[in-house]
Amino acid sequence: MDYLIAFVVGGMIVAIGQVIFDTTKLTMGHIMVIYVVTGSMLTALGIYDRIIQFAGAGASLPVSNFGYVLTKGVYEVLLAEGWAGVFNGVFQLAGGPIAAAIFFGFIFALIFRPKA
């Protein structure tokens, strides 16, 4: 059942992006930025947590989840450390995936050549 929910919710989240892409002049880069910022705001409102609880990977695979983990990290460290920790939490949860993206991104680009 969780696979079906992930499929439907994840599919819907990206389909909204496709509609924005087709009906506006925004590029995919713009849309990804919009998703991350939206994910961040929905996290602060306590909504993204609930979407993830319901949809699992359907909500944690789209880039909006970057906004979620970045914001959740900031919030959790603020709770633990107070004001002084305002910049310490950003990479608390998002650090691993960002490090992986940079590392694998660089290594695979070294190894492979673009198709002509």
For residues 56-115, which are near another protein according to CB under 8 A? 56-58, 60-63, 65-67, 69-75, 78-79, 86-87, 89-90, 93-94, 96-98, 100-102, 104-115
Binding map of another protein across residues 9-28, x = CB under 8 A, - = no contact:
xxxxxxx-xxxxxxx----x
- Interface residue with another protein among 24, 25, 44, 50 (CB under 8 A) is 44
Which of 2/50 has CB closer to another protein?
2
Q: Letter for the amino acid at 48?
A: Y
> Rounded to whole angstroms, what are the CA distances from 6 to 10, 72, 103?
6, 21, 28
Q: Letter for the amino acid at 71?
A: T
Q: Is 49 in the site for another protein (CB under 8 A)?
A: no
Q: Is 51 in the site for another protein (CB under 8 A)?
A: no
Q: Is 54 in the site for another protein (CB under 8 A)?
A: no
Token representation of residue 10: 């994840």
Q: Calculate the CA 68 to chain-centre distance.
A: 6
Q: At what angle do helices 64-81 and 90-111 cross, to 10 degrees?
A: 140
How many Cα atoms occupy the beta-carbon half-sphere of 105 within 13 Å?
6
By rule CB under 8 A, what count of residues binds another protein?
A: 76
